[in-house]
Amino acid sequence: MRKVAVVGVGETKFSGAQEKTSVELFGEAAAEAIAESNLKPKDIQALFLGNVLGDFSEGQGSVQAFAAESIGCAGIPANRYEGACASASMAVRDAFMWVASGFYDIVLAGGVERAATMGTALATRTFSMFSDSRYEFPSGITFPAVFAMLAHLYSAKYGIPLEKLKEQMAVVSVQSYKYGMFNPKAHLRKEVTVEAVLNSFMVSTPLQLHDCCPFSDGAAALVLASEEVAKKLTSKPVYIIGVGQASGGPLVSQQEYLPRLRAREISSKQAYDMAGVTPQDIDVCELHDCFSIASLIAAESLGFFEFGKAGEAWMKGEADIGGKVAINPSGGLKSKGHPIGATGAGQVYEITKQLRGEVEPERQVEGAKIGMTDTLGGDGSTLVNMILERGW
Amino acid sequence: MEYKLTFKDYNEALKQNKLLGLKCNDCGTVTVPPKMVCRKCSSPNMEVIELKGTGKIQTFTTCNVAPEGRESEVPYVILLVELDEGPWVMGNLTGIDPAAASMELIGKKVKMTGNAVFPGDKYSAGDGARPLFSLVA
Ligand SMILES: [Zn+2]
C-alpha cells in the first residue's frame, strides 16, 4: 500500500439557509482545493462525494456527477456516499484506499449539504430517517431524542447526578462556541455562557438548544495524492496514516453497550492500529459533537479519557488547547456547523490546516504533529475515524 | 432464506396488542426487533414467540420538537425498555405528565398496556405501531 497525502483543501463558509445550489457550493470548495494543490481540474481522476439529503433539500440526486462536470472534471467516475452524518468521511476513506492501492494517483473527495435550507420541520423529519424507520420512528424518535436518551443513560450508568452532567455538557458547548468565534468559516459565531446554555429552549430533555448543533448548509473538498505525486505538488503534505470504519444496527439493538457506541470502538482501533499510534499521541482531534453529550461519549471511546470522566476533563481544560488533547478548535459541529454530507471533509480540512499551522492564532494548536477525525453517522450506524500526520 | 418474522407480521400483531419476538433454538436468546439471525449467536434457527410486554425503563426523554407532520403530538415521552426476556424496545410512556418525567423513571418497572399507530406519511411506506407502556404500581 502506498502513502497518501492531503495536498489541497477547500471549504465554503458553513451557514444557515443560503441560495447557492449543492453543485455550486461543492464546486467552490473543490476549486479552492484544486487550486491549492497546484493542479488543474483535468488532473483529477475520480470524485468521491458525501451528500445525504440533496433529494429532499433541493430535489437533486446525482450531485456528484453534475458537480464533476460543472468544475471541469467531465467524464471522471463520480461516486456518492450516504452514511448519514459520516458520509463525507466515508468518501474520504474510500478515496484514500483507491490512491493507496495504486489505482489512482490524484482524486477529489468531499461533501456538500443544504440541511439548513430544509427548515427545522423537514430537517428533523429527514434526519430521523437515520434511526430505524419501522421499529423506532413510530415512537416519535428524533435525532436530539436519541442523544437525549443517551444523556440520561450516561447519568444513570456512571452515577453522575443529572445537574452535574448538565453543567459539564454546558462547558462542552461553551468551549466550542469560544473557538467558533475565531473561525471565519463557522456558522454560529457568538459568545455563549454556561448560564445561557442552561437557560436555552428545552429541545428533548435533558438537551437544550445550546446542547445541539445547528442544521447547516456548506461544502468541503480535499485533493488526495500518492506520496510520489504529493512531493512534487507541495512542501507541506499531510499524510493520512490510519483509517477505520465500522457499522452498527439500530439504537435499541445496541442495548447494554449504550451509551457507548461499539462501532466507534471498532473504527478507532482500526485507525490507531494502522497508524501505529495511541490516544496519547493525538495533539488535536475534531470529533463528532452533534450534541454536547456526544462529545463526552466520543472522547471516552476514542481513549482520551476514562469512561464517565470526560465531563470532568472538559471542566479541567484537559480537552482544550493546552490540555491533554485539543478537541474541536474549529468550533466543532456545535459552532462551526453541521452540513451533514460535508461534515467529515470539514473535519479533515480543519486538521490539515492545524497541522500546517495555518489557522487563526486564537485557535491554533501550536506544534500539532498528529491529528484525528471522528465522524458519526446516525446513532452509531456508521463510524469513521482518520489519523493524519504532518509530513515535513 | 425467508425472515421468520417480518415487519408486516410484527406490526399487525402489535396493533392487536401482541408484542412478538424471536427465540433462538440454539442459545435461547430473544431477539426484538426481528432480524434474520439471532442477535447473540447469529443462528437463523429461531421461532416466533409472544413476549409478556413487561420490563424496566433503561432511559427516556420528553421530546418537545417533532418531525414534520407530527407537531401535534408533542410533548411525548420516549422510552427504551429492557424487556424481562432480555431485548430492548422503543416505545412511549403513557399515564404521566410528560413535563414531569425525571431521572426517577430509570429502573422503574413498566408494562405494555396498549399500542399507538403512526399512520404513515409520504416517506414511510405505510403505518407503524409502537408499544405504549405504563408504570407498574
Ligand atoms: Zn442464538
pLDDT (tens digit per residue) in B55-97 = 999 999 999 999 999 999 999 999 999 999 999 999 999 999 9
Q: Does A367 reside within a domain?
A: yes
Average pLDDT, rounded, for chain A: 98
Chosen for mutation from A208, A252, A258, A262 (greatest number of chain B CBs closer than 10 Å) is A252
| Mean local confidence (pLDDT), A241-254 | 97
Question: A210-225 pLDDT, tens per residue?
Answer: 999 999 999 999 999 9
Give me the catalytic one of A73, A85, A212, A290.
Answer: A85
Question: A43-79 pLDDT, tens per residue?
Answer: 999 999 999 999 999 999 999 999 999 999 999 999 9
Q: Does A128 reside within a domain?
A: no
Q: Which candidate from B60, B78, B117 shows the least CB-CB separation from A140?
A: B78
Residue % of chain A over a pLDDT of 70? 100
Q: Do B65 and A133 touch (CB under 8 A)?
A: no
CATH number of B54-135: 2.40.50
Q: Do A145 and B103 touch (CB under 8 A)?
A: no
Q: Does A348 reside within a domain?
A: yes
| Residues B35, B37, B40, B45, CA torsion sign | positive
Task: Using pLDDT thresholds of 50, 70 and 90, give the confidence band for residue A350.
Answer: very high
For chain A, the domain total comes to: 2
CA atoms in the 13 A half-sphere facing the CB of A280: 0
Q: State the distance between the two ends of chain B, measured CA to CA, in whole angstroms.
A: 44
A338 given a catalytic annotation = yes
Q: Does A210 reside within a domain?
A: yes
Query: What residues of chain B lie within 8 A of the CB of A203, using their CB?
Result: 64-65
CATH number at residue A51: 3.40.47.10
Q: Do B33 and A137 touch (CB under 8 A)?
A: no
Q: What pLDDT score does B103 carry?
A: 98
Instruction: Record the pTM.
Output: 0.98
Report residue A41 as a C-alpha cell.
481540474
Separation between Cα atoms, residue B126 and residue A196, nearest integer Å: 42
CA of B17 from ligand 1 middle (Å) equals 26
Which sequence spans correspond to the domains of chain B? 7-50, 54-135
A152 given a catalytic annotation = no
CA distances (Å), A6 to each of A62, A231, A356, A385, A388, in order? 25, 11, 11, 15, 9
Q: What pLDDT score does B137 carry?
A: 82
Q: Are residues A272 and A258 in the same domain?
A: yes
Q: Does A126 reside within a domain?
A: no
Q: Are residues A227 and A321 in the same domain?
A: no
Q: Does A175 reside within a domain?
A: yes
Q: Point out the domain boundary residue: A239, A255, A274.
A: A239
In contact, A91 and A79? CB cutoff 8 Å = yes
Q: Are residues A63 and A149 in the same domain?
A: no
Q: Does A132 reside within a domain?
A: no
CA of B46 from ligand 1 middle (Å) equals 8
Residues in CB range of A212: below 8 A, 6 or more apart: A144, A203, A290, A291, A334
Helix (H) or strand (E) holding A217: strand A217-226
Q: Does A280 reside within a domain?
A: yes
Question: A146-205 pLDDT, tens per residue?
Answer: 999 999 999 999 999 999 999 999 999 999 999 999 999 999 999 999 999 999 999 999
Q: Are residues A297 and A371 in the same domain?
A: yes
Q: Are residues A188 and A85 in the same domain?
A: no
Question: A298-335 pLDDT, tens per residue?
Answer: 999 999 999 999 999 999 999 999 999 999 999 999 99
Q: Are residues A109 and A199 in the same domain?
A: no
Question: A193-208 pLDDT, tens per residue?
Answer: 999 999 999 999 999 9
With a cut of 90, say whether residue B26 has pLDDT above it: yes
Q: Which amino acid is located at A345 in the chain?
A: A
- Domain encompassing residue A91: 4-119+215-239
Q: Are residues A284 and A322 in the same domain?
A: yes
CA distances (Å), A79 to each of A62, A70, A88, in order? 9, 15, 11
**What is the separation of C-alpha A106 from the centre of its chain, rounded to a whole number of angstroms?**
23
Q: Are residues A322 and A226 in the same domain?
A: no
